[in-house]
Amino acid sequence: MKDVQKVRDLARHIRIETLKMLTGLGFGHYGGSMSVVETLAVLYGDVMRIDPEKPDWQDRDYFVLSKGHAGPALYATLALKGYFPVSELHTLNQNGTRLPSHPDRLRTTGVDATTGSLGQGVSIAAGMALSHKLAGRSNRVFCILGDGELNEGQCWEAFQFIAHHNLHNLTLFIDYNKQQLDGTLDEVIKPFDLAGKFSAFGFDVQTIKGDDIAAISEAVTPVRHAEQRPLVVILDSIKGQGVKYLEQLANSHHLRLTPDVKLEIENAIAELEATHV
């Protein structure tokens, strides 16, 4: 990694802007947005080949947020990287906005895939990667999935497809924050041995702390070659990551703010803004 400090600072600003967006709206997917912040910061701040001034640049790397409910974190990232003004973030989910609750590639500059229906984003990413491979292009594709999203059978069909076609140009991240809409993973459907399952499905697997910026970058910076298996990074994350109040909630998947909750989050924003890393 060229500059850990720079990426860490980007992550802090993504977290701040995402919290401001959702808190201004008064509701939204806080927990799962927070748990992917560091990964977004690494991808857009250190790893991906992008040009915000040319969002449709044919040689760019592609990103798919399969867990589309974390769209606010992606919007904050894109705005901070210069795809559109940061001031536009306050229009999240408003009438006429370019920033709907889930990513829409036809509305938002910098969004490569429309997502939100869980299980489908990874199939889109697989198609992108296969297209690049067949055409002999060097574009890389990165995709973040939620751990609860893995309950969708379509994910496992896509994983088998990815491994069969040896799509080494596609890297998957599993946001293993251990909660989903209706409760913990163990309560809803136990994930069992995720690393073992992915290995059996034909992937190379790394498990990394979800906020370990240096380790995430080290795992995904090297360009993988044809003799290597596709890579999946299991992010051992925390729902609400980076915000103590959210981390300690029984379930922060989606919050509708009461005055007390709003005050807690506003205090967290102020604390992050006062932090110099």
Q: Give the N- to C-terminal CA distance of the chain in Å, as an integer.
A: 17
What is the C-alpha to C-alpha distance for residues 75 and 30, in angstroms, rounded to an integer? 14
The predicted-structure confidence for 105-118, as pLDDT tens digits, reads as follows 999 999 999 999 99
Q: What is the mean pLDDT of residues 143-165?
A: 97
- Give Cα separations from 99 to 30, 80, 195, 258 (angstroms): 16, 14, 34, 24
Where do runs of H (alpha helix) occur along the chain?
4-25, 30-34, 37-42, 71-80, 121-135, 153-164, 185-188, 194-200, 213-220, 244-247, 259-274
Mean pLDDT of the chain: 96
Question: What per-residue confidence (pLDDT) applies to 176?
Answer: 97
> Which of 179-188, 208-217, 265-274 is predicted with the least confidence, judged by mean pLDDT?
179-188
Residue 181 has pLDDT above 90, yes or no: no
The predicted-structure confidence for 5-47, as pLDDT tens digits, reads as follows 999 999 999 999 999 999 999 999 999 999 999 999 999 999 9
pLDDT category, 3, cuts 50, 70, 90?
confident
pLDDT category, 276, cuts 50, 70, 90?
low
The predicted-structure confidence for 85-99, as pLDDT tens digits, reads as follows 999 999 999 999 999
What is the C-alpha to C-alpha distance for residues 224 and 166, in angstroms, rounded to an integer? 11
Question: What per-residue confidence (pLDDT) applies to 164?
Answer: 97
Residue 277 has pLDDT above 60, yes or no: no
Q: What is the mean pLDDT of residues 262-267?
A: 96
Torsion of CA 255, 258, 259, 265, to 10 degrees: -10
